[in-house]
A = this chain, B = another copy of it.
Amino acid sequence: MPNPAPRSPLLQGTLDLLVLKTLARGPRHGYAIARWIEDATDDALRIEEGSLYPALYRMERRGWIDAAWGKSEIGQRIKVYSLTTAGRAQLRAESAQWSHFTAAVAKIVGQP
């Protein structure tokens, strides 16, 4: 008896790349990063907060991003993230890896 299929976790391993690339356009706070990615992809990519904040924490721990507390225009406390030099290198590496990977998948998937 076939079990139902859960939604497939394609985002796995790509979230870091997306966040790094978003921060490459300039510093942003967490919530804004998620909103920007969703907007830029017409909601094709939805970033859950339960994935985002652990990811940001992880990347900070690895030295790819820096965090600084600040205030939004309306006075809310926000945590602003920016790319470090190591983060920039990581972005290049993950970018290359991503295109390498998709090219390989295309060799299998992209044919009759």
Contacts and interface: CB of A to CB of B under 8 A. Distances in A.
Given A61-B2, A86-B2, A21 B97 contact: no
A16 B6 CA distance: 12
- The quantity of this chain's copies bound in the complex is 2
- The range of chain A's interface size is 35 or more
B10 A9 contact: no
Interface of A: 2-5, 8-14, 16-18, 21-22, 37, 40-41, 44-45, 61-64, 86, 90, 94-95, 97-98, 100-105, 107-109
Given A18-B109, A21-B109, A45-B101, 9 more contacts: A2-B61, A2-B64, A4-B62, A10-B14, A12-B13, A17-B105, A17-B109, A41-B108, A45-B105
